[in-house]
Amino acid sequence: MLVEQSVLDFLNEVDSNSAAPGGGSVSSLVGAMGVALARMYGHLSIGKKKYMLLDEEVRLEFENCFEQLTYYKDALADGVDLDTCAYQKVIEAYRLPKDSDEEKVIRQSAIDSAMEGAILSPYRMMEHALAAMKLCLQLLPYGNKNALSDMGCAILCSDMAIHGAYLNVRINLSNDEQVAKWLDKIDAMLSESESIKEKVFKEIKGQL
């Protein structure tokens, strides 16, 4: 599994003549790293003197968001391999024989199915990374101010994951039906991500 490789081994695998792992897997990994940074922000906040002065309701909400981030970190880490597997299925489908009419039908069906998977994988990345960004937005006002730069990096990583996944959905939209099904959804998520990034980055810069 790619996600179990060392950082250097993964970098070298990306830096090769193989088309996978590519932008989708890298985007998912960056997103997972962003969520890990957001969780670090939480770890460095919970239990600290200023944190304990917050209202109990605020602390409970903070810790609930903190725990929810674990799911998105794991989901985005899983996406590193899922995206590469999805792309490999596309390659396998295109390699199927097409000598007879029957083989052509089977091959086209396999391509259509594989392409749907290649769209769904980065779409799920966008969903996970955007959900994580929203949780970061809730954590930001109450965390350790000494770790604001880390939360800023977390937001930027999540935004990059969304933009990278967006491009991977777009490149796989090969017909009008797919465009109608997916484009408005991913455009809306991209816009929301950019809005959150601008808001949070401006707020963090103002406090540094």
Percentage of the residues of the chain whose pLDDT score is greater than 90: 73
pLDDT in tens, 173-202: 988 888 899 999 999 999 999 999 998 888
Confidence check: pLDDT of 20 > 80: no
> What CA–CA distance (Å, rounded) separates 137 from 55?
18
The predicted-structure confidence for 41-98, as pLDDT tens digits, reads as follows 999 999 999 999 999 999 999 999 999 999 999 999 999 999 989 989 999 999 999 8
- For residue 46, the one-letter residue type is I
Q: At what angle do helices 23-43 and 56-94 cross, to 10 degrees?
A: 170
pLDDT digits (tens, 9 = 90+) for 152-173: 999 999 999 999 999 999 999 9
Cα gap 115→109, rounded to integer Å: 10
6 torsion bin: left (phi>0), alpha (psi -120 to 50), beta (else): beta
**CATH, range 20-207:** 1.20.120.680
* pLDDT reported for residue 58: 96
Q: According to the model, what pLDDT value does residue 99 have? A: 86
